[in-house]
Amino acid sequence: MLNGERLISRPIRWAMVGGGRTGQVGYKHRTGALRDNTAFELVAGAFDIDAERGKDFGVNIGVPENRCYPDYQTMFAEEADREDGIDVVSIATPNATHYDICKAALEADLHVICEKPLFFTTEEAQFIKELAEEKGKIVGVTYGFSGHQLLLQMRAMIEQGKIGDVRVVDLQYTHGFCATDEGDQKNDAQKWRVDPKVAGPSFVLGDLSTHTYYMSQLILPHMKIKKLLCDRQSFVGSRAPLEDNAHVLMHYDNGAVGTMWTSSINAGCMDAQRIRIVGSKASLEWWDSRPNELRYEVQGEPVQTMIRAMPYLDESCNADERLGALHAEGLSESWANIYLKFAMAIDAKDRGDKETLKNLVYPDIDTGLEGVRWVENCVRSADQGAVWVDFE
Ligand code: NAI
């Protein structure tokens, strides 16, 4: 169980690019990283594309004025000259900027934590992976839901054979907030999501399904997709060629099959993300709107609801427990768990502790690369007319 005590030698000096006053995701990063105050300290930032607003925001949240920078290039250069300069930077900016900022950060000898979808192409992701290796740095990816502990319970139970052989992987990440084009006109964060120059080759496949795809990999680390078929649509026509709805069929290397439904036009949907794994004996099902509950359905027996923080859960799951039984945890705890693992990975990397790094399960550059690969394959299939393609 976690109680905020220090797990690394000193808090890591942390900066953000983006995630400022108007940014949607910035606060999630801060609630995650600063949860324990023994993992990270926020000492600098280039928080906003608007330098003045960024500085005003930074000062407001307690960052020294002289370390609120007008842009990331200035921040990396000036922080490099300080004895107490930053160790790591989080990138919480629109998709098209991730690659350049990530590359510049690694070249400035910084660890990186970057938003998903990581980049536009697997070539970019491969290049960054190699650069990070050369520089001895980690690149973490903020798949923000993946810190919910019950996902590790699913992983452990499947590994222990509790559902038998995996047959069906049923994934869904949908919502209805883009059922019309209203937000595309009025909401800055939505405008760029449907512009291929900023969002990349996809809308919901990159924006939503990369999360769920990563979680399926976390739960099923030994299963790989062999081929897939993706059918994507732009129900709001002005979004074309970017999709606001997609269905994907998958074939896995062990004979299992899977589906992913990802959509932003699922009108009325408030129960967004679902993972159901069907085995030969039983199934497991988890929803992100009820993250403290895991359904375990054994064929022929009453359905069991497993509850977070209970002693019957696997050790790997309860290791990330924070609030204890009777008290609900949520997305903030999930982010805190991920950020704590980033801190431990950075600390281990700096100390050359390969053993810790080998055993630490967190969304790293390989998972970021895999997310880019997922989108690339889905788009390739869809754009050939929804045909089966080998997963390359
Ligand atoms: P947003 O449009 O709401 O905010 C973007 C922020 O970046 C703004 O503060 C803007 O001023 C700043 N910015 C843009 N260019 C910049 C630059 N060159 N230098 C400094 N600041 C810059 O976007 P949102 O929704 O916060 O998304 C940002 C990223 O986070 C995207 O990649 C998105 O896919 C991802 N995201 C991830 C979520 C998760 O759960 N992990 C949830 C929401 C978004």
Q: Quick check: 257 pLDDT over 90? A: yes
CATH number assigned to the domain covering 12-145+339-362: 3.40.50.720
Asked if residues 112 and 359 have their Cβ atoms less than 8 Å apart, the reply is: no
| Section 40-51 average pLDDT | 98
**Nearest CA among 27, 13, 142, 132 for reference residue 82:** 13
| Section 236-258 average pLDDT | 98
Please give the distance, rounded to the nearest whole angstrom, from the Cα atom of residue 228 to the centre of ligand 1.
30
| Section 43-69 average pLDDT | 98
| Section 186-194 average pLDDT | 95
Q: Which pLDDT score, from 0 to 100, does residue 299 have?
A: 98
In the chain, % of residues over pLDDT 90: 98
Please give the distance, rounded to the nearest whole angstrom, from the Cα atom of residue 143 to the centre of ligand 1.
14
| Section 194-207 average pLDDT | 98
pLDDT tens digit sequence for 323-356: 999 999 999 999 999 999 999 999 999 999 999 9
Question: What are the sequence ranges of the domains in the chain?
Answer: 12-145+339-362, 149-321+370-390
Select from 24, 141, 334 the residue to mutate for testing ligand 1; criterion: most ligand atoms less than 8 Å from CB: 24
Q: Which atom, in ligand 1's list, is nearest to the CA of 193?
A: 34
Q: Quick check: 271 pLDDT over 90? A: no
Q: Quick check: 94 pLDDT over 90? A: yes
Q: Which atom, in ligand 1's list, is nearest to the CA of 93?
A: 7
CA–CA separation, 145 and 361 (whole Å): 14
User: Exposure pattern of 369-386 as b/e (b: 16+ CB <10 Å)?
Assistant: bbbbbbbbbbbbbbeeee
pLDDT tens digit sequence for 273-313: 999 999 999 999 999 999 999 999 999 999 999 999 999 99
Please give the distance, rounded to the nearest whole angstrom, from the Cα atom of residue 189 to the centre of ligand 1.
8
Q: Which atom, in ligand 1's list, is nearest to the CA of 17?
A: 20
CA–CA separation, 184 and 321 (whole Å): 39
> How many contiguous H segments (helices) and E segments (strands) does the chain have?
15, 14
Please give the distance, rounded to the nearest whole angstrom, from the Cα atom of residue 327 to the centre of ligand 1.
31
Select from 115, 273, 339 the residue to mutate for testing ligand 1; criterion: most ligand atoms less than 8 Å from CB: 115
pLDDT category, 37, cuts 50, 70, 90? confident
Does the domain spanning 149-321+370-390 belong to CATH 3.30.360.10?
yes
User: What is the pairing mode between strands 12-18 and 40-46?
Assistant: parallel
Q: Which atom, in ligand 1's list, is nearest to the CA of 188?
A: 2
ipTM: 0.99
| Same fold? 12-145+339-362, 149-321+370-390 | no
Q: Which atom, in ligand 1's list, is nearest to the CA of 207?
A: 34
Which residues, including other chains, have CB under 8 Å from residue 22's CB and lie 6 or more apart?
Answer: 48, 53, 188
DSSP per-residue codes, 230-298? EEEE-SSGGGTTS-SEEEEEEEETTS-EEEEEEES--TT----EEEEEEESSEEEEEETTSTTEEEEEE
Ligand 1 neighbours, Cβ below 6 Å, are 17-20, 22-25, 46, 48-49, 71-72, 92-95, 97, 115-116, 142, 144, 188-189, 207
From its phi and psi, is residue 18 left (phi > 0), alpha (psi between -120 and 50) or beta?
A: left
